[in-house]
Structure 1
């Protein structure tokens, strides 16, 4: 479908957080081409890239204004990164130092599981607004990083375990595959529909690679400059995958556990110097039943729409982390973005996690990087709106509403 007409850009004021740079590493399958790259090294690569991008864009805007005083330097106020399964030790601070940001730049690492990367951006944006009220317009960098390949084993009582509890005793705490299967059952999402959605993700991502849609957002790391996915022939293979739990969810219509990192640079609107970007208008994080964590984005998306005073028809681009086809389709069905016959063209238009992979702590930030490419880099007019959203283990959903500024 055609993108909706851009609404008037009247929602942005001088202290509104604006993303003016957005980068990600390639996404690699666990045990694959980034399996020897620690999480702080992944993060440092994107931190360096966004700092360089900001310096470049500020230098260009000064040149456009007739100034010629050499390369721009930026003052970074803080680095906020999401991470789920890393070694501890404050990954954001370690990565900040490794990236050469200087000893005075602090860092904080947060864990909201699969929503960590997007949550880090919302935390940084909120801090930026508070600082801007005091006249502090410094850049903040936020995002997420995950190295499933190098994540340490967790041990308690002498025994290792795969993950920490997402809910206490007395609450449901399903593994993610059974939780996706439960949504497939409750929402009547058949195996063939899940496979078709997975094929859609791969096909769109293949097309995006062919036309260079990812090129400007990717950071080369360890000689690796392309995603492991997508798989060109996946549509001919999906029927061969056996069910994971005797139902309809398979490895083929589920995401791959992955390594990767993503980051964005945020400044107040009044400090962007004419640089194009994505204004962060609204964010929401809302809990849901821990038994069905995958449905969490529904209320989060509805919340940012209501707070922003806009409807689904006003949104030009949606990015949802495609952990499972069943889970994603359940969310899209409830939002009215999919039916048994069709998925709205605005959803993950260049493919998503089903094709590229899901580096848990980074994926929410990857969604914002993708919106930056789909809207800002692609030349969408000022006022164009986008939404990024993620389902979170333990029963939560997180979403952000953004608007193009030029």
Structure 2
């Protein structure tokens, strides 16, 4: 079987809705990434696969590829699996390579909430099942998995401090491809007194609930993508494999509990590969809500020591379709700072109750 490896990874800075990227369309966010990742390989790229959730519709991957100046022979595919879309794009590219469909893909996601033409979200579930907003669903997860307000707030503060530590140490700068002279995430323009904000925050989705603005992610713009290649082809082109695709899983759960969807996906991967959670050195699970992280870490017995070690969406933001690729980009750079890692994993839960998880080996 052909082996798929990730050899390059980048993301844009992440901007708040109507913030630094308020006038940027999703293809304008993605194009600089595609140009950077394709450099020297423009004629070798079989396809560009991008996730996108909130529009404006059309084939944004094709539009982004043309905007980036890639050859017109590079087609482009846009997909929507809600917040899992960016991770699904990478998953798809890896399987295309394994199956022999091609040897070189750019995969990831792009999202512009600021320019979205849609006034409200799409439907995740039919009325007979129930279609809760994501914040309400985060409350359902907190209740089902007994994620207390205290545990959510503790995690929110931990990940905020981790994000700032990573930023101040220059680690996040490695991930970023500048866009229009913007070189850092908008959140890092000003440090907040997070501990005080967490204590003051009130429940926003349910009276006497536990989910607050301080332990939930915001609404953001941004893009991220990786260069996925067949391993021998990458080596022939002088590119060093960093992450080698090992396995993946997609799982469905009740639409009321989307935050728990990574649990069965991760469990299936571990079982199929005769691994335990202790065998995984680094794990990224998207931080849409702290309740999700508390629930998943508890159910899977994941130590916070190896979970979202440089912070995540609760601080820098969650540009829906891009977030899965942002997590893989984070793993790409973090394992290069560590010499002993063998396995890493990225997982995300999304609207409608879908979980996607990808397992990677650290390449030799």
What TM-score, normalized to structure 2? 0.95
Q: Distance in 1 between matches of 2:260 and 2:338?
A: 32
Deviation at 1:242, TM superposition (A): 1.5
Q: Deviations over 1:273-324 (max 9, x none)?
A: 1613101100111101111111000001111212222211111100010000
Alignment partner of 2:313 out of 353, 358, 375: 353
Q: Which residue of 2 aligns with 1:61?
A: none
Q: Distance in 2 between matches of 1:49 and 1:379?
A: 25
Alignment partner of 1:388 out of 340, 346, 352: 346
Q: Structure 2 regions of 5+ residues with no counterpart?
A: none
Deviates more, 1:111-120 or 1:241-250: 241-250
Question: Structure 1 residue 236 and structure 2 residue 223: aligned?
Answer: no
Q: Which residue of 2 aligns with 1:123?
A: 92
Alignment of 1:168-247 (within 5 A): 168-229=126-187, 231-244=191-204, 245-246=206-207, 247=209
Q: Which residue of 1 aligns with 2:296?
A: 331
SS in 1 for 2:224: strand
- Runs of 4+ in structure 1 deviating by more than 4 angstroms, as ranges, are none
Q: Distance in 2 between matches of 1:335 and 1:229?
A: 30
Deviation at 1:222, TM superposition (A): 1.4
Deviates more, 1:259-268 or 1:177-186: 177-186
Q: Which residue of 1 aligns with 2:215?
A: 253
Alignment partner of 2:61 out of 92, 95, 108: 92
Deviation at 1:172, TM superposition (A): 1.9
Deviation at 1:229, TM superposition (A): 2.2
Question: Structure 1 residue 80 and structure 2 residue 42: aligned?
Answer: no
Structure 1 or 2: more helix by fraction: 2
SS in 2 for 1:102: coil
SS in 1 for 2:141: helix
Question: Structure 1 residue 278 and structure 2 residue 243: aligned?
Answer: yes
Question: Structure 1 residue 404 and structure 2 residue 362: aligned?
Answer: yes
Q: Distance in 2 between matches of 1:191 and 1:168?
A: 30
Deviation at 1:353, TM superposition (A): 0.5
Q: Deviations over 1:185-241 (max 9, x none)?
A: 222222122111111111001000111111111010011110122545212221111
Deviation at 1:379, TM superposition (A): 4.7
RMSD of aligned Cα (Å)? 1.5
Question: Structure 1 residue 23 and structure 2 residue 10: aligned?
Answer: yes
What TM-score, normalized to structure 1? 0.85
